[in-house]
Chains A and B, each alone.
Chain A
Amino acid sequence: MNETAISVINLSKHFGEVQAVDNISLVVKEAEIFGFLGPNGAGKTTTINILCTLLMPSSGKAIVNGFNVVVSPAEVRKSIGIIFQDPSLDERLTAYENLNFHGMIYHLSPKIRKARLEEVLNMVGLYSKKGHIVRTFSGGMKRRLEIARGLMHSPKILFLDEPTIGLDPQTRKYIWDYILSLSQKEKITVFLTTHYMDEAEICQRVGIIDYGKIVDLDTPVALKNKYRVSSLNEVFLQVTGRDIREEESDEKERLSQFLRARQKLR
């Protein structure tokens, strides 16, 4: 117990001039639920993409389940399951086909594939819909199917990039209950990113990331005590000097700027 699941040492990633991840270090223990909290564009997804071997780090080191992501990507890929921020299902296929193909590329034998497929579909309550084309599913159903798929090959570490973004509160709660029971039952390490404060509260430890840097990292309770505030939202306000929800108003601002610019063109 308490072995290291993920360790990140002085990791940086830049795209040209833009420093997306700036010299971050962190350790996630086995069976821990670790949350990455930060506004959009803070470097959360870039970090996850490096950890799941889709991107190369510019410098620094990342070890996932004991394997270096640069040197042994194949071993890392075997150990992890990922639910991406953007949908990554094949919407032209049925739910069953999506999962069956997933089982094939994770080298599950036909027998285990069938058993796991039924198990995870039942877990997310989609068994009765297994023969339906995914395109006909609602957003919440698609998300649940993606979670089922990410768990199908029994990964040691589960990455969830904004798992509940755009979902209604009911589905959000459902997915969260599910993730929690999973980490307890199957001892899966969960690494997730979110910009919802209430979701960050559920994590055992939270890293606050802003402009590619980890500005603070501790348990939600310790963070709140440290800054003598009652919510993580206030912690965020204290360490970064701004409200995480400003992001959303920024987006509205950008949209109205864009619309104004278009008006001018005409």
Chain B
Amino acid sequence: MDFDAIRMIWLRDIIRHFRDKVRLLGSITRPVLWLLIMGTGLRAAFNVHGISYTHFIFPGIIAMNLIFAAMISTISIIWDREFGFLKEILVAPIPRSSIVIGKALSGSTVAFIEGLFVLAFAPFIKINIPLAHLLLLLPLMFLIAFVCTSLGIVIAARMTSFEGFGVVSNFVIMPMFFLSGAMFPIDNLPHWISFVMRINPLTYGVDFLRWVTLGIKTFALYIDFLFLVTFAFVMLVIGIFEFTKRD
């Protein structure tokens, strides 16, 4: 494990991220729009588990900001390949695994912070999270961010163009988000949707988030946790493999 290298990759991405003010703005306005428009607009039509729709989707909106920020952060890999900086890293005497772990951690950190922006809305929509749950919520958000970033790295490692990544964001991020139980409950759905949801890691993330914030859950918590951890591990291993191979 090369901590210097992990620190360098992490720090560089964080510096770059916070220099980009426009991206910060996007990550704040996105959840506001969703909570206000979807939450308020659909409140009359839905009554789930006896709680208001705004409350129901709140953990889902946290998950949304996590997955969006995490996946977008991995575009930096394509960016670096296009603009040459990736070569600087690849010829350095550092193990490929630390490049992947550094990327996974920097993406997770950025996504975690963008998740916090959503969390800050909790008091405004009258969601009270007990302190003990809050302490569990923070590492959970980081774990979900880590899962999504690892997946993003595996995709970005194989992408050679920004356009390709745009397609992926439509075919991966949106279905993952909509089929995660973020916007509607996952029970009483047709078989095929139910199946897709059960192999979607974000489903387990949203389920866990919903239990921590609202006390509602579908799966046992250990199942949520194990699925997330296993998925992240498998993605990291694939990511390291992708970075290690030489043509």
Indicate if the CB atoms of B91 and A52 lie closer than 8 Å.
Answer: yes
Q: How far is the CA of A165 from the CA of B65 in the complex (A)?
A: 44
**Contact A105/B92 with A90-B85, A93-B12 known, Cβ cut-off 8 Å:** yes
A86 an interface residue at 8 Å Cβ cutoff? yes
Question: Which residue of the partner chain, among A53, A56, A75, contacts B91 with CB atoms under 8 Å?
Answer: A53
Question: Which residue of the partner chain, among B4, B16, B89, B247, contacts A55 with CB atoms under 8 Å?
Answer: B247
Set of chain B residues within 8 Å of A92, measured between Cβ atoms = 16, 19
What is the size, in residues, of chain B's interface with A at 8 Å between Cβ atoms? 23
What is the size, in residues, of chain A's interface with B at 8 Å between Cβ atoms? 29
B50 an interface residue at 8 Å Cβ cutoff? no
What is the distance, in angstroms, from B145's C-beta to the closest C-beta of chain A? 22
What is the distance, in angstroms, from B184's C-beta to the closest C-beta of chain A? 40
What is the distance, in angstroms, from A163's C-beta to the closest C-beta of chain B? 15
Indicate if the CB atoms of B83 and A105 lie closer than 8 Å.
Answer: no
Which residue from chain B places its CB closest to the CB of A13 in the assembled complex? B247
What is the distance, in angstroms, from A95's C-beta to the closest C-beta of chain B? 14
Question: Which residue of the partner chain, among B4, B19, B87, B95, contacts A88 with CB atoms under 8 Å?
Answer: B87
Indicate if the CB atoms of A102 and B91 lie closer than 8 Å.
Answer: no
Question: Which residue of the partner chain, among A78, A84, A93, contacts B93 with CB atoms under 8 Å?
Answer: A78
B196 an interface residue at 8 Å Cβ cutoff? no
Chain A interface SS verdict (over half): loop
Indicate if the CB atoms of A107 and B16 lie closer than 8 Å.
Answer: no
Indicate if the CB atoms of A88 and B85 lie closer than 8 Å.
Answer: yes
A82 an interface residue at 8 Å Cβ cutoff? yes
Indicate if the CB atoms of A97 and B83 lie closer than 8 Å.
Answer: no
Set of chain A residues within 8 Å of B94, measured between Cβ atoms = 105
B49 an interface residue at 8 Å Cβ cutoff? no
Near A by CB (< 8 A), chain B positions 205-247 give: 246-247
Q: How far is the CA of A53 from the CA of B7 in the complex (A)?
A: 23
What is the distance, in angstroms, from A75's C-beta to the closest C-beta of chain B? 8
Binary contact readout A63-85 vs B (1 if CB under 8 angstroms, 0 otherwise): 00000000000110110101010
Set of chain B residues within 8 Å of A90, measured between Cβ atoms = 12, 16, 85
Which residue from chain A places its CB closest to the CB of B11 in the assembled complex? A101
Set of chain A residues within 8 Å of B19, measured between Cβ atoms = 92
Q: How far is the CA of A56 from the CA of B245 in the complex (A)?
A: 9
Indicate if the CB atoms of B15 and A97 lie closer than 8 Å.
Answer: yes
Q: How far is the CA of A82 from the CA of B89 in the complex (A)?
A: 11
B24 an interface residue at 8 Å Cβ cutoff? no
11 pairs, CB–CB < 8 Å, chain A vs chain B: A15-B247, A86-B84, A87-B84, A88-B85, A88-B88, A89-B84, A90-B16, A90-B85, A91-B83, A101-B11, A104-B8
- Residues of A at the B interface (CB closer than 8 Å) are 15, 52-56, 74-75, 77-78, 80, 82, 84, 86-93, 97, 101-102, 104-107, 149
